[in-house]
Amino acid sequence: MTFFENSAWQGHESIHHFHDPHSGLKAIIAIHSTALGPAAGGCRMWPYDNEAEATRDVLRLSRGMTYKNAMAGLPLGGGKAVILSGIEPPADDLFTVFGRCVESLDGRYVTAEDVGVTMENMRQVKQVTDFVAGLPSKDGSAGGDPSPWTADGVFLGIRAAVQHRMGKTSMDGLKVAVQGIGKVGYDLCRQLHSAGVELVISDVNEQRLQRAREDFGAHVVAPEQIVFQEVDVLSPCAMGSILDADSIPDIKAVVIGGAANNQLATEEDGQRLTDRNILYAPDYVINGGGIISVSMEYMGDRSAADVHTQIAHIPLRLDKIFAAASKQQKPTNVIADIMAEALVAEGASDLPVSQQ
């Protein structure tokens, strides 16, 4: 099978491979769509087993960013970067070199932090390119680490999903399983705990688990068991593809909503959830808080209050998806894709012929 015949390609505009022997950088930047604006999406650094795995990941993530940005109403297309990390600590100039890679794309791609990447890394990127966000905010302006904004949107989205599926306006007394207690997962746990939720958590990092156990009284289970807990809500906040033909039959939660990207292993898994009467909040809608913050920072002259206002629209968008899914008897992921693709197509039709 050729590259263009690969199903993961799915209409991408371009994909770029970068290698710098001095710093050891091996990076891939995928641009899925610029129909609505520059392709925006974070940079993920991960110990992929091989280049093929990294390529599949960046293609799926960049496509998801197109849909995420469209559904968030942002003037941005979709793109993503991955850096193939090894066991050794990264070279001091690795992100400076990565920044030059971003700069070479002449603004078609705007980067920010994602899994394995920090705000300090983005400050290094900023030294050589302006096509970057996720930098420290100043005097109440938009910006900074997007993780808390992602957690805000996920919390609001879970609350909306609980009301739709369970008819509850309060989450007090509910049980929620959170998979992954990183920056987003921890902040989500904080908000859920404040709302009276009983937490069940898992992570591969013992320090994170200990912190959440002490701060929120969370019950810790093994990572391979978190998906199958007797809870009301399952919130995936780690890596993707955890919802598949093997896991879905044994899921006991009636609502799924979390910060992880690409939670469904395949599109058909959305139907499997629907068949089990499990309400799925499409990942790229519920986890859009971070890119909303990044977008407003990048556009400039926006405040943290503006970010709050935009994130408050996430549950409203989910309500529309849930209602349409019920009316049309289709899975929520299919409805969300249809809505996102319509927005992108509308944006593409507005482009000059030379850019189409």
Whether 330 is catalytic: no
335: left (phi over 0), alpha (psi -120 to 50) or beta: alpha
With both helix axes pointing from N to C terminus, report the angle between 51-71 and 332-349 in degrees, rounded to the nearest 10: 80
Catalytic residue among 80, 126, 168, 175: 80
In sign, the C-alpha dihedral spanning 296, 25, 35, 115 is negative
Which H, E and C letters describe the chain, residue by residue?
Answer: CCCCCCCCCCCCCEEEEEEECCCCEEEEEEEEECCCCCEECCEEEECCCCHHHHHHHHHHHHHHHHHHHHHCCCCCEEEEEEEECCCCCCCCCHHHHHHHHHHCCCCCEEECECCCCCHHHHHHHHCCCCCECCCCCCCCECCCCCHHHHHHHHHHHHHHHHHHHHCCCCCCCCEEEEECCCHHHHHHHHHHHHCCCEEEEECCCHHHHHHHHHHHCCEECCHHHHHHCCCCEEEECCCCCCECCCCHHHCCCCEECCCCCCCECCCHHHHHHHHCCCEECCHHHHCCHHHHHHHHHHHCCCEHHHHHHHHCCHHHHHHHHHHHHHHHCCCHHHHHHHHHHHHHHHHHHCCCHHHC
Catalytic residues: 80
